[in-house]
Amino acid sequence: MSANLTLVALVGVLFAAGVYLLLERSLTRVLIGVILIGNGVNTLFLVASGRAGRAPIVGLNEVDEMSDPLPQALVLTAIVITLGVTAFLLAMAYRAGQLHEHDDVQDDVEDAVIRRRAERDEASSTYDDSAGGTMDEEGADEPAGVGSGGSASPGAGPGRQVGPEGESR
């Protein structure tokens, strides 16, 4: 079938601008990127759904002249879902702005900690290869020292701040 070049070009531009924005750090820009890509996808549906025609309403128009109704139903749900996603991302942007005074997506701190561990050739924070300690069906470990040959267990002492990766802060 013949392709509509104008719409094809629009698909390309909307996706290019959308991806460019999506790779940004500001959540608002990411969101605008999502909206542009959404419009691009809907245009893609238009391109793929054949030539333009008359509204697919029986009785109003001849069946032969109608545009394809099935892609339209798909696009209709897509439009409304985009609204839901937009609202959700906006709420996230607002929440980020409330917490950090800006809405930039930060790098995950936990991942940076893991990367440092990898560079230092360390095992993970939850890994414990200490041996010893007493096995017994009753009683508990003594609070200090017993059975902790390796890394300190989280929350070992009061007043000592232990990070999520088991590092002292």
At residue 123, φ and ψ (nearest 5 deg) are -85, 175
- Distance from C-alpha of 164 to C-alpha of 44, rounded to nearest angstrom: 45
Q: How far is the CB of 9 from another protein (least distance, A)?
A: 7
Q: How far is the CB of 156 from another protein (least distance, A)?
A: 12
**DSSP letter, residue 168:** B
Q: How far is the CB of 62 from another protein (least distance, A)?
A: 10
- Distance from C-alpha of 62 to C-alpha of 55, rounded to nearest angstrom: 9
**Cα dihedral 5/3/68/45 (nearest 10):** -60
Q: How far is the CB of 27 from another protein (least distance, A)?
A: 9
| Closest to 18 (Cα-Cα) out of 47, 44, 46 | 44
For another protein, the closer of residues 54 and 160 by Cβ is 54
